[in-house]
């Protein structure tokens, strides 16, 4: 069981980095840190709506898998 927990923790670590990168790729909606660093100037430059929707889908999907893996690690840890 400990090998399974180690593998799941490694997957969670990789997904954490990927999720952070996906979140940083999102377009700023204004009023936040993205405006402070010049994101407000390019917010209306016109990005593809399809690309933004796909980015949202990937982000939510990976976040759900991330949460499920953390719950699974907790449940396996309690059983052992």
Q: Is the pLDDT of residue 76 over 70?
A: yes
Contacts 24+ apart (CB under 8 A), 67-75: 69/8, 69/11, 69/12, 69/15, 70/12, 72/8, 73/5, 73/8, 73/9, 73/12
**Quick check: is 40 in a domain?**
no
Q: Decide if 9 is inside a domain.
A: yes
Q: Is residue 16 part of a domain?
A: yes
Domain span at residue 15 reads: 1-24+52-79
Mean pLDDT of the 50-68 span: 94
- Residue 69 in any domain: the answer is yes
- Give the model confidence (pLDDT) of 5-54 as tens digits: 999 999 999 999 999 999 998 877 765 555 556 655 555 555 568 988 99
Q: Which residue has the tokens 């990168």?
A: 21
Residue 1: pLDDT band (50, 70, 90) is confident
Residues contacting 27, CB < 8 A, separation 6+: 39, 43, 47, 52
Q: Is 11 part of a structural domain of the chain?
A: yes
Residue 27 is predicted with a pLDDT of 76
Q: How many structural domains comprise the chain?
A: 1
pTM: 0.74
Residue 6: CB atoms within 10 Å: 11
């Amino acid at each position: 069981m400990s090998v399974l927990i180690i593998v799941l923790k490694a997957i969670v670590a990789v997904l954490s980095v990927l999720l952070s990168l996906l979140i940083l790729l999102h377009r700023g909606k204004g009023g936040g840190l993205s405006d402070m660093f010049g994101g407000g100037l390019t917010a209306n430059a016109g990005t593809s709506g399809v690309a933004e929707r796909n980015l949202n889908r990937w982000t939510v999907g990976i976040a759900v898998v991330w949460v499920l893996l953390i719950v699974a690690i907790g449940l396996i840890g309690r059983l052992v």
